[in-house]
Amino acid sequence: MTSLLIIAVLVLLGIAIWQLTKIFHLTQVGSAANSDSSEIATDKDNSVNGYLMFAFVGFIYIFTIYSLVKWGHLVLGTPASEHGSDYDNLMAISMWLIFTVQTITQFLLHYFSFKYRGKKTRVAYYYADNDKLEFIWTIIPVIVLAGLILYGLYAWTNIMFIDDEKEEALYVEVYAKQFGWEARYAGEDGVLGKSNIRYIEGINTMGVDMSDPNAQDDIPSTVLHLPKGRKVIFKFRSQDVLHSAYFPHFRAQMNVVPGMVTQFGFTPVLTTDEMRLDPGIEQKVANINKIRSKKSVELVANGEAALDPYTFDYLLLCNKICGSSHYNMQMKVIVDTEEDFNKWLSEQKALGTAIKELQESAQEEMPAEEEVPMDDLAHTVELDSTMTTIADSTAVKNK
């Protein structure tokens, strides 16, 4: 509210000054100081504008250098996936190209505006066209852009190509909803069971179709564990609105669309522990902890608890503004060695087992006459023809 008032006061002040200058101008009409009252620019006006052009290009250069020095360290650093370096390479080439071209063209634009600024004695030179010149300034961008686009397409197909025949790939479903993520591992059969929003019930929060034999060994998880050096193929589903699964450290992002399955695959190359030892990450962590300890001093002074020190973890973030808590829609990603990953996975409970156990314990607690049917989850809905189509379209087929 205070800032709104300040803005209103500043706007009103601006209007007042503007009106005052108008009144001042009106009082000067006819006086000697304002003899040249025409709207046509004089040599002096043109000179001032010419030098301002120079000043502006100087400002652009200085601000660019300042930005690079001040914020340059905020880039992501070492990529943690196999395709990450290709991606970074493409980004670096594009950025350097744009940077160089813009530095040169901005200088030329502003320099010529200065050099050929208006003068009473100067007459414009009539120059119709020059085929050779036009050919040169058309063909150079064509060649450069074609090269860049071809390289981009090559990198894109390399990154996006998923070989479904590869046996060793790990299939993981990533399920998005307002405002969080869940993961489901395909289990021993390597096939994710069918799923549909209509099957969501109790602990079956992802709507897995428990009548599908492939679904029995599926493993749900609230933390995304990934093995280092093994291709992981993600199948994305959304429960409600459009989300976007964004793994910044792995240079990966894919839209998560309700009613369909999207996919993306990458191979992690650095475990969480290895990434924590990366000099860039160590620097970032030190920075964050410096800010946190400063903040903690304030908090403690106000009688509140101090902040915990930060340790690095990979994150899966939502990168589509999907509602009020979008900013906090994230899931921890842990990259382990293949051994540690397999050990972790073997300790997890399959969804089929978890549901069965829950039903059994519920049955024990209930009196004998009120028996809970064992296939309670399997017969949740009798599918009509439309719903079968939906279920088929969202069914995840891996093999």
The footprint of Cu ion (CB under 5 A) covers 243, 318, 322, 329
Q: How far is the CB of 285 from Cu ion (least distance, A)?
A: 26
Nearest to 333 by CA among 182, 223, 173, 179: 223
Whichever of 175 and 185 has its CB closer to Cu ion, that residue is: 175
Based on its alpha-carbon atoms, the radius of gyration of the chain, rounded to whole angstroms, reads 32
238: enclosing H helix or E strand: strand 232-238
For Cu ion, the closer of residues 224 and 318 by Cβ is 318
Min. distance of Cβ 259 from Cu ion in angstroms? Answer: 16
> In this complex, which beta carbon is closest to Cu ion, that of residue 257 or of residue 358?
257
Measured from the CB atom, the residue of 240 and 360 that comes closer to Cu ion is 240
State the amino acid at position 86 in one-letter form. Answer: D
Q: What's at 227, amino acid-wise?
A: P
CB of residue 186 to Cu ion, shortest distance in Å: 24
CB 263, min distance to Cu ion, A: 18
Q: Which CB atom, from 208 or from 318, has the smaller least distance to Cu ion?
A: 318
Phi, psi values for residue 268, rounded to 5°: -70, 140
- Find the shortest distance in angstroms from Cβ 254 to Cu ion: 13
**Lookup: tokens for 101:** 């071209």
**If you search the block for the tokens 């492939």, which residue do you land on?**
214
Choice between 177 and 251, CB closer to Cu ion: 177
Instruction: For the sheet with 262-266, list strands across it.
Output: 219-221, 180-185, 170-177, 232-238, 262-266
* β-sheet with 224-227: strand ranges across: 224-227, 330-336, 314-318, 243-247, 252-256
Q: For the packed helices 131-160 and 84-115, what is the interaxial angle rounded to 10 degrees?
A: 160
Q: Closest distance between Cu ion and the C-beta of residue 243, in Å? A: 4
